[in-house]
Structure 1
Amino acid sequence: MLDKLRREFTLITFGLSGVVLLIALVMTFVSNVTMQNNVTLSLLNRGLEVGHALNPQMGSKDREGTVGADSMLTVSVDVTPSGIVLNKSESPVGLDEDALDEIVAKAVSGSETSGTNWARHLAWAKKSTVYGLRIAICDTYSRDVSLIRQGISGVIIFLMSLCALYAVSRALANRSIKPVSEAWDAQRRFISDASHELKTPLAVILANVQILQRSKDMSAEDMRWVGRTADEAEHMKGLVEDLLTLARADEAKAGSVGAAGPMVELDLSEIVDECALEFDAVAFERGCTISCETEPEVMVTGDKQQLERVMNTLVDNATKYAAKDSEVKLSARRDGKKAHVTVNNKGAVIDAEDLAHLFDRFYRTDKARSREETGGFGLGLAIAKSIVDAHGGKIWATSDAASGTTFHVTL
């Protein structure tokens, strides 16, 4: 739970910060591109107005006023409607004949009033004159290189910032959930310590009750109360053992102790078959039957006692809530590199809202049911999940009117 909370906090912080940074970098780049395009357009318009009178000397005058250094990047060409060059302004811009012919041909034949030749780093614009067309050509090499460098720098800054943001987000997540982690550890230790401490007085209570049950001096009424006390003490003993099992599983997740015992190679098909045989009589008493379909030698690595407990829990629940005269179906098969076990029964459909909480501790799908009716505390499935998790597997449930309720375990 804490790992999931830490991951979610980190991803949210990291994601939001990354999006804000990306938007800022993109807006800066787009703003620069727009500004550079406006500068280029201004140079082209000046070139169209000045025409061949433009000269390369900085600060020279024309009828429009002072021609600055930027105008040295522009060449103006007057051409006939057929594309014959009449005049060409002087400019330091190195414009070879092939590039000039290509732009003139495109300007004369096309309907566009401006364009860009990215391969040659040139931009052009045209306007009609009494002789034909005037074409202004601007060298955009410096602009293009500057934008490319800005783009590369932006990507590098973004990637480096993402690394820094992830580290900061992770640190903030660890710091933010520290109180939750400490509270969780305190709760886990309390449950573990309390369960240990309760085992001794419960053992004494059960021993004393057994002595009272052997007494011949008690009346039938008194003996009934003693029997009731014995039953409740046994139920409490089961609850304490379940809580201790869950506490050990939590400790295993925290890295203290292993929740599972010795991990050896096991035949899961054999465990499922034995469980079906063991619950055959129980199912008969509860008004249902059990069928079992297993592939031979579905091998897994795990703790046999713990995996048997998982199967017993699932089959016990399936027979307990199965409809009268229905069939509880067990299966074990290979699914690629995994072993897949299913336990299916036909009974009341479990709501989707309840499915999401089936493996929560003390959760009951039917809040009206008492422990006396079900015989449990709502910890069986939580324990089964902790065992499957400790084995690196997955457990979940599906339920619908057509297929019934099916519990799945993959290992």
Structure 2
Amino acid sequence: MIARLRCKFVVITMIIVMSIMLVAFYSNYSIIKSTMYDQSVATLETALRTGKTGDYRTFLIIKDLSGIQQEQGRERVDANELVETALKCDNDIGDIKAKQLRFMKIKVRSGILIAFTSISEELDTLTNMTRFSTVIISCCAFAFLVISIFLAYLTTKPVSESIKKQKQLIADASHELKTPITAILASSDILLSDELSEDKRNWLSGIKTSAEDMSFLVSDMLSLAGTDAKRSKQIMEPLNLSELVVSVCLNYEVLFFETGKSFEYSTEDNIFINGNSNQLKQFIKIFLDNAGKHSDDGAKINVSLKSDQDKAILVFYNTGTPIPSNELHRIFERFYRVDKARNTNTGSGLGLSIAKRIAEAHSTKIGVVSDNSGTYFFTKFKLIKQN
């Protein structure tokens, strides 16, 4: 999370800086180009009005019925080609880039008078300006990149340390809570084994149920803290995902049968991926537990695993009350649970958040579709070839 935050900070900073520099360059370039254009046009207008060129860069050509006559300026120019090009232009002012010339033409009594002026200096100035600006912008961009990376690290360091301390606190607190919760559960079992009145038995059963809920919550918190801490240093190795899915599903057959739910699973043989077997077992259990909690008696629960090109597709399906569409984007948040109409069973609200972290550690994402026909959770893993 911190790495993504730093990356966003750097990207946004660089976009702003580059935008400002490019706008500044373009504005300056446009002003200089416009100024030089206006100056050359003024030179052409003066030459046409006075009949004098003023400097060596400008010359006049008149075309009348007798042909082309060079009035002022250069002695040797290809007048025919220049006049022909100028006359083809619909506008009174134009450029001949191949000759690095700008012209202006007007009609006079004797024919057409055309003034030409060199724009080689103008083009050279703009070209040099572009090259110089490119170097300056590149250097500034690199400098700002280094600065923004440093600032991103500096500004997020307190947040990073705070998150680490928070995770450590959760892990420490969870470990400390496990011992008294285990003692409460053990004591409840011992007391419930004795002959008790119905009121006392109900009272103790309530205590045991609450302790079990707390135990599940503590386990989930420990699991989530462990997943976050080990994401960067976990060991990935080739494994048979088909066998792993089957082994987990076998343990749930009896559980779903006892609760009156139809459970089926189908797997394509010998699907191999790179992954962490313990985390993937937990990943599958989370979705099977989720399907069991959020489905009614007689509901259908299906698990399928198949390959498609270079991907292994794992799908979990269960019938039941659909997840509202406006809550689909939030179900992977920590401690988030959907409305009570669907959430008839207790839970910590951490299961799907843990599953999301496991998926991210395996470079994949979890998709979800929920409607009246049921709820689908699916994810894709990259296949590997196994000899």
TM-score (norm 1): 0.84
Q: Classify 1:282/1:81 alpha carbon distance in 2 versus 1 (closer, same or farther; 3 Å).
A: farther
Query: Which of the numbers 353, 360, 364 marks the counterpart of 1:389?
Result: 360
The CA deviation at 1:110 is: 4.5
Aligned counterparts, 1:112-261, within 5 A: 112-215=91-194, 218-253=196-231, 255=232, 258=234
Quote the residue 2:63 is aligned against: 79
Cα gap change, 1:108 to 1:26, in 2 (>3 Å): closer
Q: Which residue does the alignment assign to 2:385?
A: none
Distance in 1 separating the partners of 2:149 and 2:370: 38
**Structure 2 counterpart of 1:97:** 77
The match for 1:407 is 377
Structural RMSD (CA): 2.5
1:14-25 equivalent positions in 2, closer than 5 A: 14-25=14-25
Cα drift, residue 86 of structure 1: 2.5
Q: Tell whether the 8 Å contact from 2:316 to 2:376 is kept in structure 1 after alignment.
A: yes
Q: How far 1:244 sits from its partner (Å)?
A: 1.0
**The residue matched to 1:112 in structure 2 has which SS?**
coil
Residue deviations 1:143-194 (CA, integer Å, cap 9, x gap): 1011111122222322332222222222222223233222212211110111
Match of 2:317 among 323, 338, 344: 344
User: What is the aligned counterpart of 1:361 among 326, 331, 334?
Assistant: 334
> What SS class does the counterpart of residue 366 from structure 1 fall into?
coil
- Maintained 8 Å contact 2:294/2:342: no
2-structure distance, mates of 1:345, 1:224: 33
Residue in 2 that maps onto 1:374: 345
Aligned-partner SS, 2:209: helix
The answer as to 2:244 corresponding to 1:271 is yes
The AA in structure 2 aligned to 1:124 is F
What do residues 77-133 of structure 1 show as CA deviations (whole Å, max 9, x unaligned)? 222146x22342134xxx7533x3211112345543121111111111111122111
Number of aligned residues: 381
Q: Deviations over 1:220-252 (max 9, x none)?
A: 433443333233223222221211111112222
Q: Note if contact 1:393-1:410 (Cα within 8 Å) is conserved in structure 2.
A: yes
CA distance in 2, matches of 1:132, 1:314: 90
CA–CA separation in structure 2 for the residues paired with 1:121 and 1:384: 67
Q: Structure 2: which amino acid aligns with 1:361? A: R
Give the Å deviation of 1:38: 0.5
Paired residue type of 1:75:
F
Q: Distance in 2 between matches of 1:97 and 1:288?
A: 96
Tell me, yes or no, if structure 1 residue 304 matches structure 2 residue 277.
yes
- Alignment pair present for 1:316 and 2:289: yes
TM-score computed with the length of structure 2 as normaliser: 0.89
Q: Name 1:37's counterpart in structure 2.
A: 37
**Structure 2 contact 248–285 (Cα < 8 Å) conserved:** yes
Structure 1: gaps (5+ residues): 55-66
Q: Percent identity?
A: 31
Q: Does 1:6 align with 2:6?
A: yes
Q: Letter of the aligned partner of 2:123 in structure 1? A: D
Cα separation, partners in 2 of 1:215 and 1:118, compared to 1, 3 Å: same
Does the Cα contact within 8 Å between 2:68 and 2:80 map onto a contact in 1?
no
**Compared with structure 1, are the counterparts of its residues 204 and 289 closer, same or farther at alpha carbon in structure 2 (3 Å cutoff)?**
closer
The residue identity in structure 1 corresponding to 2:17 is S
State the alpha-carbon separation in 1 of the partners of residues 294 and 287 from structure 2.
11
Which sits farther off after the overlay, 228-237 or 142-151?
228-237
Does the 8 Å CA contact 1:276/1:290 hold for their aligned counterparts? no
Distance in 2, matches of 1:6 and 1:401, equals 41
Inter-CA distance 96–271: structure 2 relative to 1 (3 Å threshold): farther
AA matched with 1:119: A
Q: Residue 137 of structure 1: SS of its match in structure 2?
A: strand
**Please, which runs of 5 or more residues in structure 2 have no aligned partner?**
382-387
Shift, 1:23, TM fit: 0.9
Q: Cα gap change, 1:219/1:325 in structure 2, threshold over 3 Å: closer, same or farther?
A: closer
Report deviation, 1:31: 0.9
Conservation of the 8 A alpha-carbon contact between 1:81 and 1:108: no
**Distance in 1, Cα, partners of 2:274 & 2:70:** 88
1: CA distance, partners of 2:95 / 2:292? 77
Q: State the Cα distance separating 1:49 from its structure 2 match.
A: 1.8
AA in 2 matched with 1:349: P
Cα distance in 2 for residues equivalent to 1:387 and 1:163: 36
C-alpha spacing 1:368/1:294, structure 2 compared with 1 (3 Å)? closer
Distance, in Å, in 1 between the alignment partners of 2:98 and 2:105 is 20
